């Protein structure tokens, strides 16, 4: 069951030919209203923002920015405090309290609001205008090198400088779980987690007074209609709330796993804008779920022995309004697109340090599930880590899909690193080899041994990044201090901390030895 809001329909989706032209005509008409109507108009100047605040009687201004690992941060001021100067001079805050950023002796930082990112928050009691901000150094006034959004802006600028293209498009498909109860703890003498969902297959025998029995089977949650899919209304509210914020949605549906896995697909957009939208997406999905008394997680592998949560990411490069990736080579791709895939496959072990940046990410990247671990490319084949979708043969639709990423990533860093790997592939004409148009999981052992695989842990990915990051430094997009800080932070705060803690399964394996 795919739900297509008319506003979000695009040619990437394969629908029946019946009525296609009619829907396209409606889409063209409605998109005019979609872009310029409603209470969340795109504002391009500080004056437009201030006029909007006055007109809409906004009470609170909420400044938002991304910390280094990948969580949205915010603080608020009364609306009367905002003036045009703040859009240039910025607003001060303590950068030493943000993970991975400044030391205590150099803590002062600035948030610089960007007018075009403004939107009215759909959840706060008092009417609040959210403005996404860049981060700047108060002494030099320059953009902060560790600001993820600044890195993404530099990646877009670098692409233009190469002459390869002037625009990069990204289309992430972020999945999530909706749970009814979440408990976890870890201390010196105990460690556990407990998850529950009214949809969980494990609850078929629970006394629910009454238990109606409609629980998606393990790995069979893809597309059953209600009552088995019990979360249609919740996902629809998430979808429509996102649309109200100006984010075009293409589809929403239940995903493969039991226990409330879902997906809402956003229409593709440019790198920085898409990363902004991923943050809005996660914010809306979590808060709508909370409204229903439920909890959403984008953790890659919360459930054992069922599908994990991915973020398959579509990518293409355009120049002068034409798709650089469209051509007459394999699967309708250009030579540049194949080289781009070659760059992504070559740098994948290092790339995954940003696209799959948690220890939990590598519990999803295992054979036998939808997440591919073999570094190969193919048309249609979903067991390849790089797939060329074949829904449409239109030149505009040609792109590749990297299937490894998951939504625990910082989207500014993940999309930037993916673009830099693709650019490096084009610049160095990296051959991706022959496509693998077979089910990789059914290959004989001697043939499978020739196919390279993704790293088996976050530690391995970080070590690969340490050895292979020159492609990220081009154009000063990523800087050495960003790479060093990322590796150090992840190793010290995540990899090593997990290493220190006993795992419950270790007791099952070893307690009686």
Active-site positions? 94, 173, 175, 255, 263, 312, 382, 401, 403
**Greatest extent of the chain over all pairs of C-alpha atoms, in Å:** 72
User: Distance between CA atoms of 344 and 338, rounded to whole angstroms?
Assistant: 10
Q: Which of 146, 133, 150, 142 is nearest to 68 (CA)?
A: 146
User: Is the backbone of residue 414 left (phi > 0), alpha (psi -120 to 50) or beta?
Assistant: alpha
User: Distance between CA atoms of 296 and 179, rounded to whole angstroms?
Assistant: 6
Burial class for 245, CB neighbours closer than 10 Å (0-12, 13-18, 19+): buried
Orientation angle between helical segments 458-467 and 335-355, nearest 10 degrees: 120
Q: Which of 347, 330, 177, 343 is nearest to 262 (CA)?
A: 177
Please tell me the number of Cα atoms within 13 Å of 152 on its side-chain side: 24
Report CA Rg, the chain: 23
User: Distance between CA atoms of 177 and 221, rounded to whole angstroms?
Assistant: 12
């Amino acid at each position: 069951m795919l739900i297509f809001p008319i506003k979000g329909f695009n040619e990437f989706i394969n629908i029946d030919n019946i009525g296609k032209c009619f829907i396209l005509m409606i889409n063209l008409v409605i998109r005019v209203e979609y872009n310029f109507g409603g209470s969340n108009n795109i504002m391009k100047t500080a004056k437009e923002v201030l006029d909007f605040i006055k007109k809409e009687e906004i009470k609170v201004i909420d400044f938002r920015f991304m910390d280094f690992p990948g969580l949205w941060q915010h603080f608020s001021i009364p609306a009367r405090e905002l003036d045009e100067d703040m859009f240039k001079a910025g607003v001060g805050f303590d950068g030493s309290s943000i993970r991975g950023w400044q030391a205590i002796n150099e803590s002062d930082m600035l948030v610089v609001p960007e007018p075009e990112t403004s939107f009215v928050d759909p959840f706060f009691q008092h009417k609040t205008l959210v403005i996404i901000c860049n981060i700047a150094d108060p002494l030099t006034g320059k953009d902060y090198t560790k600001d993820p959004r600044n890195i993404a802006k530099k990646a877009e600028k670098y692409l233009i400088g190469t002459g390869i293209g002037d625009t990069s498009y990204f289309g992430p498909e972020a999945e999530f779980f909706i749970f009814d109860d979440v408990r976890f703890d870890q201390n010196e003498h105990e460690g556990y987690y407990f998850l529950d969902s009214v949809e969980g297959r494990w609850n078929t025998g629970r006394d629910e007074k009454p238990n109606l029995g409609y629980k998606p089977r393990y790995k069979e949650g893809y597309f059953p209609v209600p009552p088995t899919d019990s979360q249609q209304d919740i996902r629809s509210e998430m979808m429509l709330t996102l649309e109200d914020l100006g984010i075009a949605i293409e589809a929403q549906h239940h995903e493969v796993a039991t226990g409330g896995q879902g997906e809402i697909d956003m229409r593709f957009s440019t790198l920085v804008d898409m990363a902004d939208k991923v943050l809005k997406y996660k914010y809306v999905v979590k808060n709508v779920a909370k409204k229903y008394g439920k909890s959403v997680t984008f953790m890659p592998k919360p459930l054992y022995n069922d599908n994990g949560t991915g973020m398959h990411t579509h990518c293409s490069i355009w120049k002068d309004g034409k798709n650089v990736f469209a051509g007459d080579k394999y699967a309708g791709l250009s030579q540049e697109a194949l080289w781009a895939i070659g760059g992504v496959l070559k740098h994948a072990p290092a790339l995954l340090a940003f696209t799959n940046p948690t220890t939990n990410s590598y519990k999803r990247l295992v054979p036998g599930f939808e997440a591919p671990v073999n570094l190969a490319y193919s048309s249609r084949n979903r067991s390849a880590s790089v797939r060329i979708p074949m829904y449409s043969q239109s030149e505009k639709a040609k792109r590749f899909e990297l299937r490894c990423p998951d939504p625990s990533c910082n989207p500014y860093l993940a999309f930037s690193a993916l673009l830099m790997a693709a650019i490096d592939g084009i610049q160095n004409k990296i051959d991706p080899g022959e496509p693998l148009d077979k089910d990789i999981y059914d290959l004989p052992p001697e043939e499978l041994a020739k196919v390279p695989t993704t790293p088996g842990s976050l530690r391995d990915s970080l070590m690969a990044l340490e050895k292979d990051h020159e492609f990220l430094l081009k154009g000063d997009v990523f800087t050495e201090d960003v790479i060093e800080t990322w590796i150090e932070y992840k190793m010290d705060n995540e990899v090593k901390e997990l290493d220190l803690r006993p795992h419950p399964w270790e007791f099952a394996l070893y307690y009686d030895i």
